[in-house]
Chain A
Amino acid sequence: MNPTPPTAMTAAPHAAMGPTPQAAMTPAPHAATSGPTLEVRGLQTHFFTRAGVVKAVENVSFSVGSGRVLGLVGESGSGKTVTGFSIIGLVDPPGRIVGGSILYQGRDLAKLTEREMRGLRGNRIAMIFQDPMMTLNPVLRIDTQIIEAVRAHTNLSWREARVRARDALGMVGIPHPEERLDAYPHQFSGGMRQRVAIAIALLHRPDLLIADEPTTALDVTIQAQILSEVQQLCATQGTALLWITHDLSVVSGLADDIAVMYAGRIVETGAASSVLDRPLHPYTHGLIGSVPSRNRRGQRLRQIPGMTPGLLALPAGCAFRTRCARADAACAVDPDAREVMADRTTRCFHPELDLIA
């Protein structure tokens, strides 16, 4: 067997899944609504701590269309998780969304009341977290938790809801779903728990799914199972997927588009293959060079010097300039995001255009 599976496709940036039977069924439930499922514009989420204002998310903009996958890539502390939490309305004090808009099918989520938000959350917009124990209540049986989620957004009876719950478990590949409904979370393995969490997230066939490092804690084979499930979901249900991760190799296989975050800002966006093949921002370039890949076996990895600065002690101007080989006097001013190539934006005065042969 070839390690690079023959199924690997080089995707045209705007073909959702390639010519597959699933793609043929793609017409999304909300095809009527024009425009992207999610559009985030100038989002600012700040944390008002005793030590000062932490600008965890600063002027972040991106959009995800129906059936598309956006990979939001960044390292710890880059603000990628807070971005996800902001969208689903789970930012707790001292954190607050202080600016920008989060348009879900044209409605600004940041302006909804908690009651309206509750109607959407878990229903039209769902989230999968890194640690499934964060989603599952350890003292409640699996069936109680799924049925609760079903009945929160439908008028089904308990009995009907239980049937839905069983089907949901079956759909994510849990063997003997009927018996497993009576189990408690601790009786499942990590991969199984994450699948239960995914089953709950998918109960109401959400239009938008936010996945925050859902496979980081899982083994390679279990990760592949989960990736294949979400991939199918996007293709068949037209779900827009925001995949938050630090792992570029997962994103390269999954995402249509990529947004790279550094110190609370998006420093680069574009189609996945385009960003990975021709990174423009020096940070993206360094990040890709840091991933061990078979082309450079045994050679030194291209490392980024230093480490991510704390958000309270960011250098003035471009936040990356202290670690950047291309930094000069111009970088003392914070660069705006600009489109340097077709469909490619970057926040850098010295994008690595010359690297492109």
Chain B
Amino acid sequence: MTVGGEPMPSDPVTITPIIALEGVSRRFGPTHDAAARLTRRVTRAFGGSVRNEVVHAVDKVDFAIRPGEVVGLVGESGCGKSTIGRMVAGILPPSEGRVLYRGAEVANLPKDQARRAKLKVQMIFQDPYASLNPRMRVAEIVGEAPRVHGLVDRAGFDDYVDAQLRRAGLDPSFKRRYPHQFSGGQRQRIGIARALAVQPEFLVCDEAVAALDVSIQAQILNLFMDLRAELDLTYLFISHDLGVVEHLSDRVLIMYLGRIVEAAPAEEVFARPNHPYTQALLAEVPRIEARKRRFTAIKGELPSPMAPPTGCHFHPRCPHAMPRCAEQAPDLRAVAPGHHSACHLNDAI
């Protein structure tokens, strides 16, 4: 890779990770208003049953990202990857566990420090149509945050915004325009300029190229790589597209139904996937190198996160499932240096 060299996930050197998640869970449940609470209480008092529909979007996740790393987070829809992205970016608080920025929990920092820490982690969203305020001009979209946070004064404002736009590959003469006057790819560049305008160290990209055409996607991916070299950025790159993740990432985390099932350096995970889910997923990735082939399929569907299977979440679809898999959730354990996998099969060896 261009920056930082090959990361050593098992590296004992004490670099404080830029982001660390410790036992983070996130649950979503319905919020009840006064009337609903009363109804539920009355129902319960009369011996009725009250359903508690809670989605376990993220279930006790641990990982750390070192400065300069690009970490890919992969999983199918509903596996909780966007929820993790939002918790890392500080948009969503975890239900349990801690999200640490450079070793400190942002919520516990003194106010001004917390504010600065929050600016250092920025997010780029999937939908370039929904993530820009349609009533704001590009200059305001990009320049608002740095002005509010005092990163730029009134005199330097125009130059600052121009520089941000130019860095994201946009012509600064467009800055008086509104978002609807841009194409999808250009809008994504505006989103990138906005994120970079507050001088972050860490970018969370949540399916940032999924909505774009192939040729535009290539332009944006190249931009991400250039920015990484130029600004020494660290990325959490969330995507369902394994090809994109393989292209960009130093390290890959594979998620299934709220849990990380495998974590390994990118080359390692694509060459020697350990977890049966990862193996099945990789086998199904359409690749441009592959010619006419027979497609096969993993059995069954992604189960509902409202009622996840017991034990290992993947066991109902797993070709190697054993009785133990239905009872006990496997821990994420090292199977090779820097390569972790959560599967009972690894104990047998």
Contacts and interface: CB of A to CB of B under 8 A. Distances in A.
A295 B248 CA distance: 13
B112 to A, nearest CB: 39
A249 interface: yes
Contacts of B173: none
A272 B291 contact: yes
Contact of B281 (A10, A221, A254): A221
A293 B287 contact: yes
A113 interface: no
B295 A290 contact: no
Interface residues of B, number: 51
B286 A252 contact: yes
B289 interface: yes
Interface string A242-269: 0000111110111110000000000000
B292 A286 contact: no
Interface string B225-269: 100000000000000101110111000000000000000001100
Contacts of B266: 297
B221 interface: yes
A268 to B, nearest CB: 15
Interface in B197-217: 213-217
Contact of B296 (A10, A224, A276): A224
B218 interface: yes
Contacts of A222: 301
A236 interface: no
Contact of B243 (A7, A190, A249): A249
B329 interface: no
B183 A307 contact: yes
A192 B304 CA distance: 13
A7 B293 contact: yes
Nearest to A290: B218
Interface residues of A, number: 60
Nearest to B247: A292
Which has the most chain B C-beta neighbours within 10 Å: A9, A189, A192, A294?
Answer: A294
A250 to B, nearest CB: 5
B299 to A, nearest CB: 9
Given A75-B214, A253-B290, A293-B243, A219 B77 contact: yes
A302 interface: yes
B53 to A, nearest CB: 16
B22 interface: no
Interface stretch (A28-36, A126-134, A225-233): A225-233
A288 B292 contact: no
A3 interface: yes
A204 B202 CA distance: 54
Contact of A290 (B215, B246, B267): B215
A97 interface: no
A294 B287 contact: yes
Interface in B122-179: none
Contact of A3 (B76, B270, B296): B270
Which has the most chain A C-beta neighbours within 10 Å: B77, B225, B270?
Answer: B77
A341 interface: no
Interface string B283-313: 1111111111111111001100000000000
B283 A253 contact: no
16 contacts: A1-B280, A4-B289, A7-B294, A11-B292, A75-B216, A224-B296, A252-B288, A253-B295, A254-B292, A290-B215, A292-B247, A293-B287, A294-B243, A298-B248, A307-B183, A308-B213
Interface of A: 1, 3-5, 7-11, 18, 20, 75-76, 189-192, 219-225, 227-228, 231, 246-250, 252-256, 272-273, 276, 286-298, 300-304, 307-308
Given A253-B292, A290-B214, A298-B2, 9 more contacts: A3-B270, A7-B293, A8-B293, A219-B302, A225-B298, A253-B291, A287-B214, A290-B217, A292-B218
